[in-house]
Structure 1
């Protein structure tokens, strides 16, 4: 059953992370509730609400609904829970911290991790997309990605980063293949990246809460809008189907809001 579900997910070109997450949700459901019935599905949803944050609840619900599609029982789909959206962004690395971070890594000749955060911040890549980058993509300056609906999205590599990465790969005598490899020559993992970034944040006295792979994607979006105010283009670059998803980047972070309040309000 799990194997069949994973094959179904793979056939829809979902990412490795999504497949792992959805499979976990199905295993969790089966372990606690067994058969697929309307009553069990409702109990599972209530249990999720009692034990997890709304974001996680909706992620698990999406997973189960996807499984219901897989077995042709869409009439049993579970409604997601409503979330109260905040009017600010949370836990996004600042441009100043990013510049400090990359300079620390470069000065310590930690070039693998220097380029990890450079590519995350300069290409808006998701972690699963970052790990697909090869030397060949750096040479041509872009990586073509395909969504589960077969839609093409191009991940551009800025010229300055492209040239710097070419020089790095030349020193490593690497002319082809995946770029982000560990010391054993194997592709680094998404989990490995997340853990190492937290460790490096602590080492360089940066708040670990703002140092995680997706934070650099948020940084890209905020910085892009600040320098080139075209939200429609940003939506295309980010791969957002709905421009409303992109509008969150028009908001300030909570830290930015606090600084503005401190500066403006003197009464």
Structure 2
């Protein structure tokens, strides 16, 4: 990364641009398990689901610059048009979510049970999940300040808070982060992603739909089905634009297929 930043400086780029490029690359590296064409495409899909086309293209430009700098032999990402896909890809279904959640609870694997519950019931990004503390569980929300100095509040439903408090008491945990790894530091995003894949395999759930951001999609789709206030959902999701949130009004590819199969009998 340092070499990449130095190369940008030698090209005469402004410090703001360099910071933006570095942020985009760090975001990529924190989200993927290894650098591959498949992981690049998956990251691009995530960018499209989260940000405006302008932001997506800026980050793609930064990523491609990084790929050039390390002489990556694979693909370069193409920019996106404003139009989004009319369906969602690889979103965990409600039945798959429940199978995973209930299996972990039945096996008393409470650490991963609560990771799945928090992802599914709060809409938190994996980077935000790592920051949840005993104190935020007690108060019922977690406040974070985004890069743009904007407040992002993640609400923790009261029933989830009550259930979590009992678990924390059984662990004699009264302060600090609740999802920790070595040295009581927050578990890494990669560690969470890999752990979820292992859980999926254990309970016969398709691993392709079990990744942190998939639960964020599930949260949004479940919430909008109960409360159609899309502006409120946009606030809950931390989206800068309500247009980003509209994707959750769409059905998944599987839901579209099932609807077609059910409706067409001629």
Are residues 1:122 and 2:116 paired?
no
Alignment partner of 2:144: what SS? strand
Matches of 1:140 and 1:149 in 2, distance apart? Answer: 25
Q: Give CA deviations for 1:84-133 in whole Å, capped at 9, x if unaligned.
A: 63211010001111111110000001000000010011111000100001
| Partner residue, 2:51 | none
Query: Which stretches of structure 1, 4 residues or longer, exceed 6 Å deviation after superposition?
Result: 12-17
- 1:81 is matched with which residue: 76, 79, 82? 79
Gaps of 5+ in 2: 7-14, 46-55, 67-77
State the TM-score, normalizing by the size of structure 1: 0.75
Structure-1 separation of matches of 2:110 and 2:99:
15
1:144-183 equivalence runs, <5 A: 144-182=143-181
Aligned residues: CA RMSD: 3.5
Distance 1:147 1:53 in 2: 25
SS of alignment partner, residue 118 of structure 1: helix
Q: 1:100 to 1:181 in 2, by over 3 A?
A: same
| Helix, strand or coil at the partner of 1:175 | coil
1:185 Cα deviation after fit: 3.7
Deviation (angstroms), 1:18? 5.8
Larger relative contact order, structure 1 or 2 (CA cutoff 8 Å, min sep 6): 2
Contact 1:120–1:216 (8 Å) recurs in 2: yes
Give CA-to-partner distance per residue, 1:207-235, whole Å, 9 cap, x none.
11100000000001000000111101001
For normalisation by structure 2, the TM-score amounts to 0.75
Change (3 A) 1:110 1:87: same
Aligned residues of 1:13 and 1:148 also touching (Cα < 8 A): no
Query: How many pairs does the alignment contain?
Result: 230
